[in-house]
Amino acid sequence: MARKSSHPNWVLATCILASSLAFVDGSVTNVALPAIGKALGGGAADLQWVINAYLLPLSALLLLGGAAGDRYGRMRLLVGGTVLFAVASAACALAPSLPVLLAARGAQGIGAAILMPNSLAILGVSFTGERRGRAIGIWASVGAVLAAIGPVLGGWLIDVVGWRAIFLINLPLAAGAILLALIYVHDSRERDRPALDMPGATLATVALGALTWGLTIGSGRGGWTGFAVADVGAGVILLLAFVGVEKMRGERAMTPLAMFGSASFIGLSLLTLLLYGALGALIVLMPYVLIQGSSYSGTQAGGALVPFALVLALGSPVMGRIAGRIGARLPLTIGPLVVAAGFLLALRIGSHTNYWTEVLPAILVISLGMVCAVAPLTNAVLGAVDARHTGSASGFNSAIARTGGLIGTALLGGVLGARDEALIAGFHTAILACAIACAAASACAFLLIPGTRAK
């Protein structure tokens, strides 16, 4: 496990820079979808895979990345994942065709799956109690600021230079994270290092691949053909097989089922899946609808979500400290309900929409709800397991969040393939589904998370 550092602020800065790679890349790429489609000749399903080619390995391998950090050293995995992410980003910028871009996006997802859970696990073992809540709040807020700058800068680059330039944003962030990790983050080796759970990793990857492929086809123009239904069914069966394998492997599993011995961890996992699934759909849809339905430029569409990130940046440190004192149940019950109200406000968005009167109010309400949820959720997950499983727990929760976004994006085929009034109608249907998912997330927190003080 990681040693206590004499430079905790630099450790925090390292974790922020590393995690921000995934946040910035996701938000920038969403703004670039129309430009990528025009440049490389992609249809609606192809545009979904620009997102899902990244989210699929990220979702499936986050579990393995967290477990590998617990066993082989979190700093080592953090640096290795960041290097891979940087190389893959350069490959995205140079991609001559859509298949090459999708392959490079997949490599980015693998790198992110390695670096993200280890970044959070390093935070989890470097800070405790209220200090951990404060550190996670700062991590969330600074990450949000970088994620806010990314789409604006990315949109400007798309308008002025071209979409390829957006992937180069990752290179200075990666270089800073690697340098700080090598200087300030240290590992102590475990003498007994069990083999990684390759059967579990393989089953998780194939299961999520089948599930995503089936949902992508089923939500597209072709509809729910026998092939799409069979793909989804195979994905579900393989996920059940994954659970069986993890049960047999016990503590050697990359997702030890002992973590699910409490209703609290189950509630946190369900809440994460629902809330981040809704948020993932919004982040993909909002820039796309503003560009295609309201003729916004890339810069304008990228800037539309800036208030979301700024409110999150300002509020997360405060909410992190509050959650460190009062526990997670109350903020995690209230936050998703506020997010649901924001989604309902977004139903006012139509073609040729006015940003200040229709888009901004919805974004502000959604962001206030997420302030109540982000830092308390992360803190609660890290406090719900013992020190041996912090990497696995953070990896699993991050995987659940990305899986939510993966499923949400896979279900958007009908919306991304529509035009004019059909695009707006599909957007409204998706937004209503997101509001329902957020209300269900609130119910999970209220019913399954005990009202106790955070650890």
Listed by start position, the domains of the chain span 8-186+254-448
pLDDT at 101: 94
Query: How far, rounded to the nearest angstrom, does the alpha carbon of residue 149 sit from its chain's CA centroid?
Result: 17
Place of tokens 């030890």: 256
**Sign of the alpha-carbon torsion through 273, 407, 113, 54:** negative
**pLDDT at 274 > cutoff 90:** yes
CB 77 within 8 A of CB 445: no
- The single-letter DSSP state of residue 2 is B
**Secondary structure (DSSP) of 383-437:** HSS-GGGHHHHHHHHHHHHHHHHHHHHHTTHHHHT--HHHHHHHHHHHHHHHHHH
d(CA 256, CA 254) in angstroms, rounded, equals 6
Give every CB contact of residue 336 below 8 A, 6+ residues apart in sequence: 271, 274, 275, 369, 373, 438, 439, 441, 442, 445
The tokens of 111 are what? Answer: 């790198």
Report the predicted TM-score, pTM, of the whole model to 2 decimal places: 0.74
pLDDT digits 0-9 by tens, 199-255: 887 888 788 778 877 887 787 667 788 888 998 899 899 989 988 988 888 777 777
Place of tokens 């968005």: 349
Least confident of 63-77, 135-149, 340-354, 425-439: 135-149
Highest mean pLDDT among 119-128, 162-171, 393-402: 162-171
d(CA 7, CA 175) in angstroms, rounded, equals 19
CATH H superfamily, domain 8-186+254-448:
MFS general substrate transporter like domains (1.20.1250.20)
Query: Mean of the per-residue pLDDT values for the chain?
Result: 82
Q: pLDDT-derived band of residue 311, with 50, 70 and 90 as boundaries? A: confident
d(CA 405, CA 107) in angstroms, rounded, equals 18
- The single-letter DSSP state of residue 357 is I
Of 141 and 408, the structure prediction assigns the larger pLDDT to 408
The tokens of 188 are what? Answer: 């102590």
- H or E stretch at 268: helix 263-294
